[in-house]
Amino acid sequence: MNKLKYFVAVLISLLLVSTAIAQQYKFKALVVISQSDDHIKMMTAAKPFFEKLGQDNHFKVDYTDDSSKINDENLKNYDVFVMLQLAPFDISYSQQAALQKFAEQGKGWVGIHGAGLTGTEFLAKGTKYWQWFEDFMGGVVYSPHPAYQKGTVIVEDRKHPATKNLSAQFEISDEWYEFNKSPRPNVHVLATADESSYKQNKPMGDHPIIWTNEEYHRMIYIGIGHDPSVFTNQSYITLLRDAILWAGSK
């Protein structure tokens, strides 16, 4: 075999390997975490969890605390954006615009716990409020949460792909985020917090804790997810797996 033939053979081999590697993934997910210390233990435990979740379920995971990765050019490489503890007010105007475009294009968005901090309570003085995100979340504003404690999640929709493998209810310890009102009129509720199972800060009555906004193709918000203990809760593991797989589906 002369050098040219050898070179061509090697090149073809590399292309085949590259194609095989690419084909083993169903989709690519970008997980962007907060740089705040508020949920540092959870976010530290989340990195190996998400990497293993991707390996076990054949999707590629890139995990970072670098919010500059939220730009049009980079987001073109991903099918799912996981907003893990990253609050909407913690990203720049241009990053907000890129994420909004990503969601409006029908890509997958999975928001976890701190991602739902809507409202102006934590907004820096002189900062423009991202109203689109509040609407994206169903038109609700976050209000102070009760103490961390064990409670019960009631699964309302057991036919949706993200919740179909969950039992009718499950227990988990969390902060049980509250909002100024129920988002139900504007969203599709998948699960609610059973307010009789823990001590509330300000009872909501109807208290959705997991929902989708059907104006967007693949959007899901999961209000629970405060600390590392969630990664030992089989119901939560199942929920995250199925939520991300649904968000990444075509």
Nearest to 76 by CA among 109, 105, 110, 47: 105
Rounded to whole angstroms, the Cα distance separating 1 from 47 reads 47
Q: How far apart are CA 3 and CA 6, in angstroms?
A: 5
Asked if residue 48 belongs to a domain, the reply is yes
Q: How far apart are the first and last CA of the chain?
A: 45
Task: Please give the C-alpha separations between residue 30 and each of 51, 84, 170, 227, in angstroms, as whole numbers.
Answer: 11, 10, 28, 20
Residue 8 placed within a domain? no
Q: What single-letter DSSP state applies at residue 127?
A: P
- CA gyration radius, the chain: 20
Whole-number pLDDT of residue 14: 47
CA distance 195 to 204: 8
Residue 120 located in a structural domain: yes
Q: What is the DSSP letter of 162?
A: T
CA distances from 164 to 167, 170, 171, 193 (A): 8, 13, 17, 17
In the prediction, which pLDDT does 105 show? 97
146 belongs to a structural domain: yes
**Residue whose structure tokens are 């100024």:** 180
pLDDT at position 17 is 41
Residue 9 lies in a domain: no
Is 40 part of any domain? yes
pLDDT in tens, the chain (250 residues): 565 555 545 455 545 444 444 457 899 999 999 998 889 999 999 999 999 999 999 999 999 999 999 999 999 999 999 999 999 999 999 999 999 999 999 999 999 999 999 999 999 999 999 999 999 999 999 998 999 999 999 999 999 999 999 999 999 999 999 999 999 999 999 999 999 999 999 999 999 999 999 999 899 999 999 999 999 999 999 999 999 999 999 7
Q: Is residue 3 part of a domain?
A: no
Q: Domain containing 175: what range? A: 28-247
What is the number of domains present in the chain? Answer: 1
Does 20 reside within a domain?
no
Whole-angstrom distance, CA of residue 130 vs CA of residue 76: 22
Please give the structure tokens belonging to residue 167.
């039992």
Q: How many residues does the chain have?
A: 250
CATH number at residue 77: 3.40.50.880
Contact 59, 23 (CB under 8 A): no
